[in-house]
């Protein structure tokens, strides 16, 4: 079995990418209320603060902050994924390995996480999360995408409604676009 070493910071702020197994699916937006309920129920059981969140048809990007003294992000992500799977009808294709283990074929097994290091890192990831629907061609304007905390940040005065992303960092490469 692989030994995944995760950098953990108690009370830390983390960026995540969580993918569906089928990268051509629209399951997350088709069952958006089930996903929202899964997040809501998980937050009630294992509190965390949502700094930024965007739901695309087949993946999620989010930035969350854990309570002081807590570094258990893995079980929060796991709980959200399990609750969502239980709320979705079982009609997806499953490999023989997943079927033998009684696993659903909805989520990729792992997720990608990054500890936010400072205010600049936070700002870059916040922009990346909110610009993602435009990056993937789902909309031409960030404000057009309904499944995003962008609208919350506009109401808070952080972004203007017509914010287009400007000089967005490509988180994967660190390059500016």
Residue 31 annotated as catalytic: no
What are the backbone dihedrals phi and psi of residue 5, each rounded to the nearest 5 degrees, phi first? Answer: -100, 120
First-to-last CA distance in the chain? 38
What is d(CA 52, CA 68) in angstroms, rounded to the nearest whole number?
A: 19
What is d(CA 147, CA 54) in angstroms, rounded to the nearest whole number?
A: 6
Cβ pair 56, 29 in contact under 8 A? yes
What is d(CA 56, CA 135) in angstroms, rounded to the nearest whole number?
A: 11
What is d(CA 95, CA 92) in angstroms, rounded to the nearest whole number?
A: 10
Annotated catalytic residues are 147
């Amino acid at each position: 079995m692989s030994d995944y070493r995760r950098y953990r910071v108690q009370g830390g702020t983390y960026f995540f990418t969580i993918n569906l197994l089928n990268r051509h699916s629209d399951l997350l937006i088709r069952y958006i209320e089930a996903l929202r309920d899964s997040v809501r129920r998980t937050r009630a059981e294992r509190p965390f603060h949502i700094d930024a969140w965007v739901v695309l048809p087949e993946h999620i990007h989010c930035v969350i902050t854990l309570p002081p003294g807590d570094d258990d992000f893995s079980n929060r992500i796991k709980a959200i994924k399990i609750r969502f799977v239980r709320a979705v009808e079982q009609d997806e294709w499953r490999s023989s390995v997943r079927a033998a283990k009684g696993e659903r074929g909805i989520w990729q097994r792992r997720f990608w996480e990054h500890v936010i290091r400072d205010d600049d890192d936070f700002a870059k990831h916040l922009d990346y999360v909110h610009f993602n629907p435009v990056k993937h061609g789902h909309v031409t304007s960030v404000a057009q995408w309904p499944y995003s905390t962008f609208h919350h940040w506009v109401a808070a005065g952080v972004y203007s409604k017509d914010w287009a992303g400007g000089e967005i960092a490509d988180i994967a490469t660190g390059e500016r676009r």
